[in-house]
Structure 1
Amino acid sequence: MSSLRILVGVKRVIDSAVKVRVNSAQTGVETANVKHSMNPFDEIAVEEALRLREKHGADTVKEIVVLSCGPAKAQETLRTALAMGADRSIHVKTDDALEPLSVAKLLTKVVGADKPDHVLLGKHAIVDDAHQTGQMLAGLLNWPQATFASKVDVNGRTLEVVREVDGGLETVSAALPAIVTTVMRLIEPRYASLPNIMKAKKKPLTTVTPADLGVEIRSRLQTLKVVEPPKRQGGKVLASVDELLDKLRNEAKVL
């Protein structure tokens, strides 16, 4: 098996345990003084890269690089990935939240310069559930892709992936280089030990800007208003099937 370089994309998001609140201007959710952490699906992607190296050896997986796009605090997320065991990191510094296409274009430029053999991403970020970046990246690079991966392995220059699909599980193979997006059921991510957290502070972290990569960041979507979902109403006990059908037809308007 030839030596492989794996690039893993990670995103800093509001911690999944935090109760999200809409901000007072109703332009988005409140982020000030709110705990942030690595996107859970991206943690799975980092863990999978590390396990591939542990399974096949450092001679096979020669380097694991993590990348994040976002403000300066995104470096905290990169340091977490480095503490888990990644070798070096790249921070694409941006001021605003990026749409999936912008992230895919930035990743395309990094892939062109860094020449990874395999790109791992979480299937989506919990902030928007877009499910778009991995697929867009594969399209821009013209690389094969395997989305919703629940099991990943490498055999020579062939990637073997078990995917979660509507009907169950699907096993596919693809020639490297390729894109894989991971689901939560793939594996349990490890905790970074204190010694590794200290070592992570000395690992390489390169900062670049979209201008350095030759990418113009442009928003294509406009958020008009963000509101909390309506509170759930209490249930009702109905006396008959006819009453149920009447409510479905005349109140819910689903029949």
Structure 2
Amino acid sequence: MAARRTSDEPAFVLHRYDWSESSLILEVFTRLHGRIAVVAKGAKRPSSNFRPILLPLQPLRIAFGGEGEIRTLKGAEWGGGHVMPTGDALLSGYYLNELLIRLLARDDPHPALFDAYGSAVQVLASEHGEALEPALRAFELLLLREIGLLPALDAQTMTLEPLAPDARYSLVPEGGLVAAGERDGRSTLSGSEWLALGDSMRDHAPFHATLQQAAHSMAGLKPQLRALLHYHCGVATLRTRQLMIDLQAL
């Protein structure tokens, strides 16, 4: 039986590894097949058509074949739309890529998350620096929800008691949403903020709605999401996060 071939698949390169003197292994996030690994034979040669195409944070249309854990890349074209992010936006894009590699299983499709990632990359590539942090928080929320690691945001997780709009709540890795104690020192959001974030993720355009809502809750939201992501990634600090810290210290 001939190996199945997929063509014209929307994709982004998440990471690349040397495979031989002339070839690369790519971690690729595709819309209909999820995260997959492909070998790009000859991609490191100066004459390769792949060489200027297989870049991170660039929308691609790819063709690949094979049934094994690592498929063979047959073709790739730039999808157009924006240029490569730079500076802090570039590092932020690498951070999103690290989250996807750590938290997504291979061959597990998430079309809605793929669309959210594409929207996030467009924000990173734009010149709207004020939207950078809200875009990261929006994507983090949608990623956690998509893979089942975000609790419902309309009730306390352990008791199922509805959130009171004026009360304060913390998102705790081991226990979900819990009522905040006056002296526990945790970052908190009000019940109304959590409810609004939950509503925004159910919007017909969830990334942009969540971005707008996250912009109103940045100070309290960032440390809570960071703790939850680190908990599920099994690390104290993500590599890209540590790189950002090191660069800021120079």
TM-score (norm 2): 0.23
Higher fraction of helix: 2
Q: Point out which structure has higher relative CO (alpha carbons under 8 A, 6+ apart).
A: 1
TM-score (norm 1): 0.23
Higher fraction of strand: 1
